[in-house]
Amino acid sequence: MRKLLFLFTGFVTSLSAMAVARFPKPDFTSGYEYPDIVHGAPNELLWNVLDIVLLIAMMALVVWAAYKKRSRAVIYSVSFVSVAYFGFFRSGCVCSVGSIQNVVMAVVNPDYHLPWYVLLLFLLPILFALLFGRVFCAGVCPLGALQELVNIKHFRLARSVSATLSIIPWVYLAFTILYAATRSQFLICRLDPFIGIFRLGGDIGMISFGIVLLVMSIFIGRPFCQFLCPYGALLSVFSALSWKKLEITDKGCINCALCGKSCPVDAIRAPQYSKTKENRMKGVHRIIFFAILLPVLTLAGALLIGSQSNALSLAHKDVYLYEQLLQQQAHPNMEESLEVETFHALGGDIDELKAKVDDIRRDYRIYACLAGALIGFVIGFKLLKLSLKRSRQTYEISLARCTVCGKCFNYCPQNKSTQHKQPLISYL
C-alpha cells in the first residue's frame, strides 16, 4: 500500500515537474551537447554504523574498567577518544541527548521516520544504565567527556543548592518533550551549549555559554551533566534501578573517609548511623503528607503550565505565522515580515491556517498539562527524597548521580594495592 502511494506521488510529481519545466530547446547548429554535471554524493551510512559500533565498544570498555579493573586511566582515555571522534570529527550531531526528540516525535507522529541508528543511540545508553549504571555519561558522551577533561579542582556545593538545581534537567526534559511532541521545535538542538565548540563555529551566544560551562567545569565537576542534561535525568532514573551497583572498591569499605570529597558530582554518600529509631508515627505522618503533596504538586504543575499553553504554542511556526498575520491585519502600515510576505505571495488561505492552528493549540493544551504534571511530580519526589534519611554503614555511591568517571577509585586505599603499577596518573 505504501509502495503504491510512493509510486503514485512520484508519478504525479514527475508529471507536474514535466508540465512546469518543459521549455523550447535552443536550436544549436554547432553540435553543442549538454554538459553532464555530477553532484556530490551524500556521505555513506557506514559512518552511522561505525558510530553505533564505537558506542557499544566504548560503553563496554567503561563497564570493564569500572567494575573489573577499577581504573580511572581507561575511562579518561575513553573520554579523549570520545571528544575527538564523537565531538570534533562527527561534530557532535546526532547525539544521544538529542535523540530524545526524535523518539518522541516518532511516538506521536506515525508518519515520522525514525532512523534505526537514532533509535539505538537512544536505547543503548539506557539499556547499559539499566544494567551497569550511567556508563554512557562516563566518557562516551562527548559533552560529558569534554567537561571531564577540564575538571581539575572540585568545590562542593551545598546539598540544598544542588538539589534545587537538579530540578532543572527535568524542566528541560519536560519542555523538550512538549516541543517535540507538538512538532514545533527541537529544543535541545537550539540550546546545546557545546555544539558550537565541536563544530568550530556557530551562534556566539551558544558558544559563550559553552565556554562559561567549561570554565565552571574546572571548579565544579560537570555542571551541564548535573544541572542541565535532560538525558542525564532520564538515565538517572534507570541507573538508580540498575542491576549491578557500582562500588568504589570490591574489597569492602573501611570507612577511611578519603573518597568522601573526591566525587566531582557529589555522588558519594557518607555513612549515617541512625542512633535513635525514628518515631513510627512521624513516619506515618510523613507518608500521608507526601501522599497528599505529590498529587497536589503534580496537579498544580499541570494547571500552571497548561494555562500558559497558548503563549507556549507560539513556538510552532504555523501558530507564529498566524499571529503575525493577525497583527498585520490590525496594523496594515507595519512592515511585513518575510514569512507573511511569502504566505501572501504563495496564495495562502488564512482560514485553512486557522484550522491548523486550532489543532496545534489543542495538542499544546494536552502536552503542556503533561509537562507541567511531570515537573510538579519531580519537585514533589525530590522533596520526598530530601526528607528521607537512609541509614548507611559505609561510604556508598548514589547511583542516580554517579557518572562513572572513576575518580573515586584512585582515592580508595583498598584499590591502591592493585594500582601501584600506575603511579603517574594517581593525581587524576
Partner 1 sequence: MLSVVGRDLWNMFKRPDKLFYHSRRPQGLTLLKEDDDFVSPYRRVYGFMVPDEICAMEVDGGSIYLATPNNISVYGMSGELQTNFPTPSDLRDMTVHDGLIYALFPTRIEVYNRQGDLTMEWEACSENSDYCSLAVCENGIFVTDASNKNICKYTLDGTLVRFIQSPKGFIVPSYCFGVAYIDGKIYCSNPGRHLIESYTTEGEFIASFGKAGAGAGAFSGCCNPAVLTPSSHGDLLTSEKGIPRISCYGLNGEFRSILLDSKALGGGNAAYDVRVMNDKLIVAGGDKVSVFQYDKRQSQLTLCGQCEEDCPLRV
Partner 2 sequence: MKDEDKLKSPIDRRDFLRTCGSFLAGGIALASGGLLAAKTSGKEGDVFWQIDPYKCTQCGRCETDCVLTLSAVKCFHANRVCGYCDLCGGYYRPSVKDLNTAAENQLCPTGAISRKFVEEPYFEYTIDEELCTGCGKCVKGCTSFGNGSLFLQIQQDICQQCNECAIARVCPSDAIHRVSNEQAYLLKDHA
Please tell me the count of residues contacting partner 2 according to CB under 8 A. 64
Task: Identify which range of 62-70, 103-111, 161-169, 369-377 contacts partner 2 by CB under 8 A.
Answer: 103-111
Q: Which of 155, 243, 273, 427 binds partner 2 (CB under 8 A)?
A: 243
Task: Identify which range of 264-272, 340-348, 364-372, 375-383 contacts partner 2 by CB under 8 A.
Answer: 340-348
Query: Is 11 a binder of partner 2 (CB under 8 A)?
Result: no
Task: Identify which range of 94-102, 133-141, 223-231, 291-299 contacts partner 2 by CB under 8 A.
Answer: 94-102
Task: Identify which range of 111-119, 212-220, 296-304, 364-372 contacts partner 2 by CB under 8 A.
Answer: 111-119
Query: Is 281 a binder of partner 2 (CB under 8 A)?
Result: no
CB nearer partner 2, residue 59 or residue 73: 59
CB nearer partner 2, residue 30 or residue 417: 30
Q: Which three cell numbers stand for residue 355?
A: 484550522
Q: Which three cell numbers stand for residue 68?
A: 573489573
Query: Which residue shows C-alpha cell 592493585?
Result: 418
Q: Which of 58, 59, 103, 265 binds partner 2 (CB under 8 A)?
A: 103
Query: Is 276 a binder of partner 2 (CB under 8 A)?
Result: no
By CB under 8 A, the residues from 353 to 392 that bind partner 2 are: none
CB nearer partner 2, residue 75 or residue 178: 178
Q: Which of 21, 46, 158, 281 binds partner 2 (CB under 8 A)?
A: 21
CA distance 231 to 130: 14
Query: Is 313 a binder of partner 2 (CB under 8 A)?
Result: no
By CB under 8 A, the residues from 37 to 66 that bind partner 2 are: 37, 39-43, 45
What is the closest distance, in whole angstroms, from the C-beta atom of residue 118 to partner 2 in the complex?
Answer: 8
What is the closest distance, in whole angstroms, from the C-beta atom of residue 127 to partner 2 in the complex?
Answer: 6
Report the 3 state secondary structure along the chain: CHHHHHHHHHHHHHHHHHHHHCCCCCCCCCCCCCCCCCCCCCCCCHHHHHHHHHHHHHHHHHHHHHHHHCCHHHHHHHHHHHHHHHHHHCCCCCCHHHHHHHHHHHHHCCCCCCCHHHHHHHHHHHHHHHHHCCHHHHHHCHHHHHHHHHCCCCCCCCHHHHHHHCCHHHHHHHHHHHHHHCCCCCHHHHHCCCHHHHHCCCCHHHHHHHHHHHHHHHHCCCHHHHHCCHHHHHHHHHHHCCCCCCCCCCCCCCCCCCCCCCCCCCCEECCECCCCCCCHHHHHHHHHHHHHHHHHHHHHHHHHHHHCHHHHHHHCHHHHHHHHHHHHHHCCCCCCCHHHHHHHHCCCCHHHHHHHHHHHHHHHHHHHHHHHHHHHHHHHHHHHHHHCCCCECCCEECCCCCCCCCHHHHHCHHHHCCCCCCCCCCCC
| Residue 311 interacting partner from partner 2, partner 1, none (CB closer than 5 to 8 Å by kind) | partner 1
Which spans of this chain sit near partner 1 (rule: CB under 8 A)? 19, 23-27, 165, 168, 171, 175, 185, 190-191, 209, 212-213, 216, 223, 227-228, 308, 311-312, 314-315, 320, 337-338, 345
CB nearer partner 1, residue 375 or residue 404: 375
By CB under 8 A, the residues from 168 to 187 that bind partner 2 are: 185-186
CB nearer partner 1, residue 65 or residue 369: 369
Task: Identify which range of 70-78, 110-118, 362-370, 417-425 contacts partner 2 by CB under 8 A.
Answer: 110-118
Please, is 177 exposed, middle or buried when counting C-beta atoms within 10 Å of its C-beta (0-12, 13-18, 19+)? buried
Which residue(s) pair with 269 in the sheet?
396
Contact of 175 with 73, CB cutoff 8 Å: no
Q: Which of 50, 56, 114, 216 binds partner 2 (CB under 8 A)?
A: 114
Query: Is 347 a binder of partner 2 (CB under 8 A)?
Result: no
CA distance 74 to 66: 9
| Residue 150 interacting partner from partner 2, partner 1, none (CB closer than 5 to 8 Å by kind) | none
| Residue 228 interacting partner from partner 2, partner 1, none (CB closer than 5 to 8 Å by kind) | partner 1
Query: Is 339 a binder of partner 2 (CB under 8 A)?
Result: yes
Q: Which three cell numbers stand for residue 121?
A: 543511540
For residue 90, which of 142, 131, 133 has the smallest C-alpha distance?
A: 142
For residue 151, the one-letter residue type is: N
Binding stretches for partner 2 (CB under 8 A): 2, 6, 14, 17-18, 20-23, 25-26, 28-30, 32, 34-35, 37, 39-43, 45, 91, 93-94, 98, 101-103, 106-107, 110-111, 113-116, 119, 123, 126-127, 130, 185-186, 189, 199, 201-202, 237-238, 240-243, 317, 338-339, 341-343, 345-346
